[in-house]
Structure 1
Amino acid sequence: MEGATDIRVTYKRVLLKISGEALMGDQGYGLHPPTVARIAEEVKSVHDIGVEICMVIGGGNIFRGLQGSAQGMERTTADYMGMLATVMNALAMQSALEALGVHTRVISAIPMDQVCEPYIRRRAVRHLEKKRVCIFAAGTGNPYFTTDTAATLRASEMACEAIFKGTKVDGVYDKDPKKHDDAKRYDKVTYDEVLQKHLGVMDASAIALARDNRLPIVVFALDEPGGFRGILSGDGTYTLVGP
């Protein structure tokens, strides 16, 4: 890997969106501390080259509102439970990052002052300017909205230059590459193509919001060591979703 002085940073402020399942490792449920620590190392490597970082982490490793609703739970209650799960994941990531010496703030859309800050846009921007990593938790604070939509909303509010969507594959494919050997990977795809072809990058509300704000989405493999930093240096494999 090149030294920090040689890195060609493409973006100055980005939002990293990862699923709660990314924190499970090989487990079927919950948090896998070595996996959380590895992702924290990836974030630190990007933070070290001067990029301002926001994060949004899903809660599906602990509780998913839609699944709870499908099993008979009232949807609003189920979604609020999912929001609380994202706070737990955010606190775990904060702990891992601060163990590496990265100053971090967890900022929740649902006030819970004993464990994290309430969301105040100007304060969050100031944290970023002070080179603190901001982890936005509890989604948008409203039921019926996913963490994908929350990520796009927060990225827009924070004036991020791109959303980095960390997944299990190295980009956007026309079909599941783990099930189909002839799956085609896109180097670049438009917002409208994602919606029309149901490519599953993010939910439709998130894609539409990104399109309206001309916010590019970079889809890459989170499991690839150094992938996050590599893309910012102009290398790596990914799909760019844009205009």
Structure 2
Amino acid sequence: MHDEADRLSTTAEGRLELLRTQELLRRHLPPPPARVLDVGGGPGTHARWLVEDGYEVHVVDPIPRHVAQAEQAGATAEVGDARHLAAADASYDVVLLLGPLYHLPDRADRDQALAEAHRVLKPGGLLAAAGINRYASLFEHTAFAHLHKEPLRESIAGILASQIHDGKKAFTKAYFHTGAQLLEEVTTANFANTDVYGIEGPAWSLLAATGRHTGEPLTDSPLFESALTAARLAEPYPKVGRIRRRASVRS
């Protein structure tokens, strides 16, 4: 059974994603104790460190097992849907959408999730939203050294053309954004002062492939430190490498 918390803490590319997400959120979050709604927060990986930082965190996730894990991480939690939040209007200082937008392939569903986030945010609140780069699967499977094999080549070609993975093999059903598309979706949902950031940089797939080929964790390696440095340098250039996290501010 796949465990998102394990992925973010034990794999090099997961650790890179976690550290970079923490860096960006801590840069933009209001001071604690602010109220944070972590929509699609999974087992509470981000809720745990946010609670430790002094925030009041509530997790909404569609999987009951994740809700129980999030409660163990120190957050309150409930089973719910990003498109139909139970929270009252203007009740949170921060809303995190670090998973729902790429788990919703249909634009109408993403628009509804963003509308709900806008509804529950206080005026001046912070929305932090995430997308997966349109070319992420191309980078990943090239680094894994099997892109030339059929039918994988046809599968990746289909993802590049449609921007959708059907979820029938390996990865979940997902939508792959460009930075411009995600920016447009968030802006259309009436969020202002919106910025787009690259998170994992150009070397995340190198980390993932090296770990797979060597069996080494790499989280304390010079390669990891170089990949982290590359991600920081590439942050202002979200077209470089894999882009997952975007932050936007509601005025």
TM-score by length of 2: 0.37
Q: Higher helix proportion, which one?
A: 2
TM-score by length of 1: 0.38
